Amino acid sequence: LGTLLSHEPRQPIAEVRRIAREVADALAFAHGRGVIHRDVKPDNVLLDRETGRATVTDFGIAQAIEAGARLTLTGIAVGTPAYMSPEQATGEREVDGRSDVYSLGVVAYQMLTGRTPFNAGNSMALLVKHCTERPLPIVELRPDAPPALCAAIERAMAKAPEDRWPSAAAFRDALDDHAASPAPWRAEV
């Protein structure tokens, strides 16, 4: 997916839905077995050359944590800064599947808009933005995107885990829902 996005930054809406659903489905499977990926990003999503089917790869961080390796200490962020959830960015020791939902939301945002929601000159500044700034609403960057799809993705990127979809399966289902709940910061508007 990373290679595809480097050549075609904005993907067709149907492809965004399909790829994001397939990744969410894979994450739901992993989460159901107690495994949190912790590094969901385009480079960790492989697309089958013939079918286009998305496969989530590189569970290296998740496997190391499951094995008890000391990859995380309080205050140390583990993952890829452009796609990290706020709780990862602040070095929370315990993250759950909603962290992967956030990261997949960032990937879906990027597929729809052609850019990641935040850019900064260094990793620390980027992590701060994930914790404190709201991304531009998708509709401002991709006016043809269906409102329910935008709402589903934006809710996935809510700052507080409790404001996101409660699971990757719920996010997967919302990607096709035509009446998805709006993101918390959009609900007030």
Read off φ and ψ for residue 54, nearest 5 degrees.
-85, 135
Choosing from 25, 39, 144, 163, the catalytic residue is: 39
Cα 46 from Cα 119, distance rounded (Å): 24
Cα 187 from Cα 81, distance rounded (Å): 27
Token match 């495994």: residue?
35
In angstroms, what CA-CA distances link 102 with 70, 97, 109, 136? 24, 9, 10, 16
- Residues 32 and 1: beta-carbon distance below 8 Å: no
Residues 6 or more apart whose CB falls under 8 angstroms from that of 173 comprise none
* Residue 39 appears among annotated catalytic residues: yes
Longest dimension (CA), the chain: 46
**Residues belonging to the active site:** 39
